[in-house]
């Protein structure tokens, strides 16, 4: 199963490791969307707003890994942060606000109003997501008994 082929990251469409990474990234994206919806349902004010900002960047990071599974955690997190900041800075123009008036999807993706503190919370999401991606990458690369690299479903040997 291949979700995206090519992506310029050196992975083959049939590379089992890339497929596993993509499956984990897709799961992470779904969990992130669920967390964002849950946060909006139970929280209000700054917690919901800034938590949503953080999760927005985590979602972008997961989607980037889905498309480019061989990207390093730093590259994926940095790109997610740059995209988040670009969207926020785009809000300094009137275009996102106008699009948001006509489309719920545009409001969810682009927002409508620039808010400088959002830039900080996007960075929090990039760092948190990047650290999680790094931890998952190390877990995949840690040799198991016999010196081979573990694959999904391996159980640790004691």
Q: pLDDT digit string (tens) for 101-135? A: 999 999 989 999 999 999 999 999 999 999 999 99
Is the Cβ–Cβ distance between 54 and 128 less than 8 Å?
yes
Cα–Cα distance between 30 and 36 in angstroms, integer? 10
100 DSSP assignment: H
Cα–Cα distance between 11 and 6 in angstroms, integer? 7
Cα–Cα distance between 84 and 78 in angstroms, integer? 10
Q: pLDDT digit string (tens) for 62-90? A: 999 999 999 999 999 999 999 999 999 99
């Amino acid at each position: 199963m291949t979700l995206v082929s090519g992506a310029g990251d050196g992975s083959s469409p049939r590379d089992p490791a890339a497929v596993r990474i993509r499956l984990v990234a897709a799961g992470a994206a779904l969990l992130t969307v669920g967390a964002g919806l849950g946060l909006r349902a139970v929280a209000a004010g700054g917690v919901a707003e800034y938590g949503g900002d953080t999760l927005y960047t985590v979602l972008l990071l997961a989607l980037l890994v889905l498309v480019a599974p061989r990207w390093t955690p730093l590259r994926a997190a940095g790109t997610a942060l740059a995209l988040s900041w670009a969207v926020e800075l785009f809000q300094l123009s009137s275009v996102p606000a106008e699009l948001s008036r006509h489309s719920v999807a545009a409001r969810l993706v682009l927002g409508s109003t620039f808010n400088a503190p959002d830039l900080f919370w996007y960075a929090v999401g990039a760092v948190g997501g990047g650290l999680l991606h790094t931890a998952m990458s190390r877990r995949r690369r840690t040799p198991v008994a016999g010196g081979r690299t573990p694959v999904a479903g391996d159980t640790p040997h004691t």
